[in-house]
């Protein structure tokens, strides 16, 4: 995302005093926090006095830090609506209820998601998925963006157990090349979350077209499709 103030900071950076340079680097490196956090909180995180942020804003031609903050906020609002709305809601709740309330809610939500895996239908689905992987000649694991750690963990655990796991990580655009080896004796573990990653869905369709077995997790409810 392009922040016009960042270019202004870079053009003037070498002429700033030392402490103002620290504040300027904070603005450039944390544009979202600049738009959402209070000046005092930003000063605390940047490890500079709040007055330094005020002086920096005026040095850049703004009446004060709030005017500078508005520019960053306007740029953030041009991004995905859901992100800014969620971020603002979390900050409001944090201000009203504190960190303990947010952490407690997060833990309770995780507990609820894990509880779903104890349901008989989920257990049956997980068992079927495990059977597919045990019988497979090779187990291909794929997950993009936030789902990648899950796919990587599957691959890592498989390597510890001497299972024939293959991670499709897309390094150097090699995802398609790896999938060329998939066949009827193989299984694909596909991890995604709504809205589903297009490449993961395409990879799953391709693997199934080659006769491979598919085991998928949408991080809400496990599913398995032969």
pLDDT tens per residue across span 40-63: 988 998 899 999 999 999 999 999
Residue 170 predicted with pLDDT over 70: no
Mean pLDDT of 108-126: 83
What is the per-residue pLDDT for 37? 84
Higher pLDDT, 111 or 84: 111
Q: Tell me the two tokens of residue 104.
A: 């407690």
d(Cα 201, Cα 143) in Å, to the nearest integer?
10
Residue 26 predicted with pLDDT over 90: no
Q: How many angstroms separate the Cα of 71 from the Cα of each of 1, 22, 78, 84, 114?
A: 13, 20, 11, 15, 41
Per DSSP, the three-state class of 138 is coil
d(Cα 133, Cα 110) in Å, to the nearest integer?
26
d(Cα 65, Cα 218) in Å, to the nearest integer?
43
Mean pLDDT of 3-28: 83
Lowest mean pLDDT among 6-20, 48-62, 194-208, 211-225: 211-225
Residue 219 predicted with pLDDT over 60: no
Lowest mean pLDDT among 106-120, 131-145, 159-173: 159-173
DSSP assignment of 170-217: -GGG-HHHHHTT--TT-EEEEE--SSPPHHHHHHHHHHHHTT-EEEEE
d(Cα 202, Cα 109) in Å, to the nearest integer?
30
Q: Tell me the two tokens of residue 37.
A: 């956090």
Q: What is the mean pLDDT of the chain?
A: 79
Lowest mean pLDDT among 59-63, 73-77, 112-116, 160-164: 73-77
pLDDT digits (tens, 9 = 90+) for 55-89: 999 999 999 999 898 888 777 655 545 455 566 66
**What letter does residue 220 receive in the DSSP assignment?**
S
How many C-alpha atoms does 217 have within 13 Å on its Cβ side? Answer: 23
């Amino acid at each position: 995302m392009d922040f016009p103030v960042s270019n202004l900071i870079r053009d003037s950076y070498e002429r700033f005093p030392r402490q103002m340079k620290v504040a300027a680097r904070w603005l450039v490196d944390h544009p979202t926090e600049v738009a959402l956090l209070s000046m005092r909180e930003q000063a605390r995180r940047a490890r500079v006095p709040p007055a330094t942020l005020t002086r920096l804003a005026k040095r850049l031609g703004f009446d004060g830090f709030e005017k500078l903050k508005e520019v960053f906020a306007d740029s953030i609002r041009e991004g995905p609506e859901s992100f800014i709305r969620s971020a603002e809601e979390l900050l409001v709740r944090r201000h009203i209820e504190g960190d303990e309330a947010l952490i407690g809610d997060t833990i309770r939500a995780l507990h609820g998601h894990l509880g779903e895996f104890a349901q008989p239908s989920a257990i049956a689905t997980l068992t079927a998925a495990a059977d597919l992987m045990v019988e497979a000649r090779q187990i291909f694991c794929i997950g993009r963006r936030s789902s990648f750690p899950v796919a990587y963990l599957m691959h890592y655990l498989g390597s510890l157990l001497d299972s024939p796991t293959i991670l499709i990580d897309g390094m150097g655009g090699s995802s398609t090349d790896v999938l060329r080896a998939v066949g009827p004796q193989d299984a694909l573990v596909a991890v995604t979350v709504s809205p589903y990653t297009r490449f993961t869905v395409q990879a799953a369709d391709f693997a199934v077209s080659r006769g491979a077995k598919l085991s998928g997790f949408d991080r809400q409810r496990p599913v398995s499709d032969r």
